[in-house]
Amino acid sequence: MFGENKDKLIKLIVEKSIIGEDFTVEGVVSSAGEVELGGTIKGPVNVKQLTIKEKGSVIGEINAEDVQVSGFVDGKITAQRIIIGATGKIKGNLEFEEIIKVEEGASLDGHLKKAPFNKIGNKVTNFINTATTVRKNLLKV
């Protein structure tokens, strides 16, 4: 029915999700794409890419490929690449595989640890694979 476009439909379509300054989320946040956070998340965050703006905050564990913090985090961050901007404040440990960048003016109260990607990528990859499986089942391919 779908012909050669079948595989394109199965691939997870992801868009940028924006959580505004006046918005608070309590619970697990998962996304196969990018999340831009201006508000507050209280709970674990499992996303591909997370950008925490100056007024944004996360109280909980973060698992992602890329994390940029210009706001506040109280919890462990596990990512391939972590950038803490000049206005960023982190209270928690950081595990990274490739890059850690801390700009002048940033605040970090925690420990740094370099970790292999298979440990970092599992939570994000598992979510993306689950979402793709659900999509296949919905399309009955």
Pairing, β 57-59 against β 40-42: parallel
pLDDT in tens, 66-99: 999 999 999 999 999 999 999 999 999 999 999 9
Write out the DSSP string of 85-119: -TT-EEES-EEEEEEEEE-TT-EEES-EEE--HHH
Domain ranges of the chain: 13-139
Pick the more confident residue, 131 or 95.
95
Query: Is residue 12 over pLDDT 90?
Result: no
pTM for the structure as a whole: 0.79
CA pair distance 63, 117, nearest whole angstrom? 12
Average pLDDT of span 45-72:
97
